Structure 1
Amino acid sequence: MPASLFDCPAPAKLNLFLHVTGRRADGYHLLQTVFQLVDRSDALDFTVRDDGIVRRTNDIPGVPADTDLVVRAARLLQAAAGKPELGADIAVRKQLPMGGGLGGGSSDAATTLMALNHLWQTGLTRAQLMALGLQLGADVPFFVFGGNAFAQGVGEDLLPLKTADCWFVVIEPGVSVPTAIIFSSQELTRDTKLVKITDFPEAHNLLYGDFGKNDLEVVAAKQFPPVAEAIKWLKTFGNARMTGSGACVFCAFEHEHQADEVLKQMPSKWIAWKAKAMQEHPLAHLTKS
């Protein structure tokens, strides 16, 4: 049995559009979105233990270890696989902001499921890991899925999608947006018309055209003025929009030098960076279909 895996990436995602199409009786919102992986990531280290203890070895401000999705994911896999004797020391190096709409916590959890499934040799399939991930959060199954996707339902119904090879400029506006605040807003519309995957056959249109929108953007921009300001500034360069429930804002560019030019002009009050579109999760090879 392999003893450890180091520098396991947990990549960010962008929502190229995000439509809220309804609400279930249990309160969960029905969505349609395109998830896009990008090459900016958190990084996790895993070392197997033989005493059943699952332990996060470093502090993350504002995230107690026992409530961390990483620890919860490991314990969920431990129980599902019937491997109570196996544990792990896990170190999480955060690069993705919390409350940014980039899926950082969900991606960390998915990387944990994939890495420990491999290290513990539990043999669970990708579909089984996705089902476990859904118990942790609606975005987790996407990161286990292995590639970009058109998502429906609460985000768990996934169809593979080839997206454009491009570069993104992403702005962190300096605020953390709690997802629950946005989804519970009275101003959120929940009746956007359903689309089909055949409605956007050209990924190019998702990035540079006017297809779709983020239904959460209006609510977040109104409640968090720095989000509105970042969108307004980035829109002078292209089709900028917010990802997820915020706060991060992004714009796509066909060439890296275009992204570099925008970053040169970025106001110093924001953290901003460029990222390359990815077609496949870097750990997809660890999990059998």
Structure 2
Amino acid sequence: MRALYDVPAPAKLNLFLHITGQRADGYHLLQSAFMLIDWCDTLHLERRPGGAITREDLGAALPPDDLIVRSARALQQATGCTQGAHIGVHKRIPAQAGMGGGSSDAASTLIALNRLWGLALTRAQLMDIGLALGADVPFFLHGGHGWVEGIGEQIGPLQLPAAHFLVVKPPHGLDTGAIFGDPALKRDSGHATISGFAADPYGFGHNDLQPVAQRLCPQVAEGIGLLSQLSLQGKMTGSGSAVFARVPQADALNKGATLATALKVPADWQVRLCSNLEQHPLVEWVPCDD
């Protein structure tokens, strides 16, 4: 096998995000439900001799040493692999949106290179490498939706009913460090239970980061206001500026082509009607743990 083309890297939405405390080292403890959606970046990977890792941006330009390059190098270092790769990236998931685009790219890179280089690392081994790259990377290696706790490293399986969501991303993004470092951030939410969440998964909880985010980026509140004009209850995802709302099934099926355009947003905003996934599209590429 010399190449893998059209490798998907799906985005996620946080159905809720509660900050339950803060460790002595400054890391925040959280609870959240991470949901995979069908808004994806696409990677093309070609095996190259000599160990060099190169990247070609097929859409929006990325930083030279982004998570894709770093994840490939981390996999080389962890395994002693001397093979290289050229990676083409078609970036569709917006940056600083709270949708995990960079982390998902890193996870799909690890999964694809593990297959392309014939390394046969298990899911647990890949997740160990991923955690050192970023707190959200292990989730995208997990294989499905996830009940996430700790600093993002504790991931349990989560079943969710099929649903559709309208996602709105303003042009301005948000810096994760600025939100988590804000003294006004609520850090003492009570612990949620999976049973409580399961009773109303798409209406449960809130995002503790949202009040700070709205102050730092008023377009977050503007996006939620736009969704409310369609009688949709909006919520921010993750630590970025994207907001989303569940769309009733009838609206998604019968008015999907026009629903997004019903929002009167400026041309530089992104609006997309998405569906959740049953599982990560690359779940079958990862060897089972012993």
Which of the five TM-score ranges fits, normalised by the shorter chain? over 0.9
Following superposition, the deviation at residue 225 of structure 1 comes to 0.9
Aligned-partner residue type, residue 52 of structure 1: G
CA contact (8 A) 1:168 1:259 kept: no
1:251 is matched with 245
2:279 is matched with 280
Aligned-partner residue type, residue 8 of structure 2: P
Aligned-partner residue type, residue 68 of structure 1: D
How does 1:71-90 map onto structure 2 within 5 Å?
Answer: 71-83=69-81, 85-90=82-87
CA contact (8 A) 2:60 2:91 kept: no
How does 1:211-230 map onto structure 2 within 5 Å?
Answer: 211-230=204-223
How does 1:37-186 map onto structure 2 within 5 Å?
Answer: 37-58=36-57, 63-65=62-64, 67-83=65-81, 85-186=82-183
After superposition, what is the alpha-carbon deviation per residue over 1:123-143, rounded to whole angstroms, capped at 9, x for unaligned? 110011011100010000000
Q: TM-score, normalised by structure 2?
A: 0.93
Work out the CA distance in 2 between the residues paired with 1:112 and 1:132: 12
Work out the CA distance in 2 between the residues paired with 1:264 and 1:97: 19
Name whichever of 231-240 and 174-183 sits farther off.
231-240
CA contact (8 A) 1:217 1:246 kept: no
Aligned-partner residue type, residue 280 of structure 2: H
Work out the CA distance in 2 between the residues paired with 1:259 and 1:179: 32
Following superposition, the deviation at residue 282 of structure 1 comes to 0.5
Cα RMSD between the aligned structures?
Answer: 1.5
Aligned-partner residue type, residue 244 of structure 1: G
Moved over 4 A (4+): 59-62, 258-261
Aligned pair count reads 282
Name whichever of 261-270 and 142-151 sits farther off.
261-270
Gaps of 5+ in 2: none
Work out the CA distance in 2 between the residues paired with 1:59 and 1:4: 17
CA contact (8 A) 1:167 1:259 kept: no
Rate the CA distance shift 1:287–1:213 in 2: closer, same or farther, 3 A. Answer: same
Work out the CA distance in 2 between the residues paired with 1:169 and 1:282: 21
Identity of aligned residues (%): 44
CA contact (8 A) 1:169 1:259 kept: no
Gaps of 5+ in 1: none
1:238 is matched with 232
2:192 is matched with 195
Work out the CA distance in 1 between the residues paired with 2:255 and 2:156: 31
Following superposition, the deviation at residue 273 of structure 1 comes to 0.7
Q: Give the secondary structure class of the aligned counterpart of 1:278.
A: coil
Following superposition, the deviation at residue 260 of structure 1 comes to 4.5
Work out the CA distance in 2 between the residues paired with 1:59 and 1:92: 5
Following superposition, the deviation at residue 57 of structure 1 comes to 2.4
Work out the CA distance in 2 between the residues paired with 1:235 and 1:151: 28
Q: TM-score, normalised by structure 1?
A: 0.94
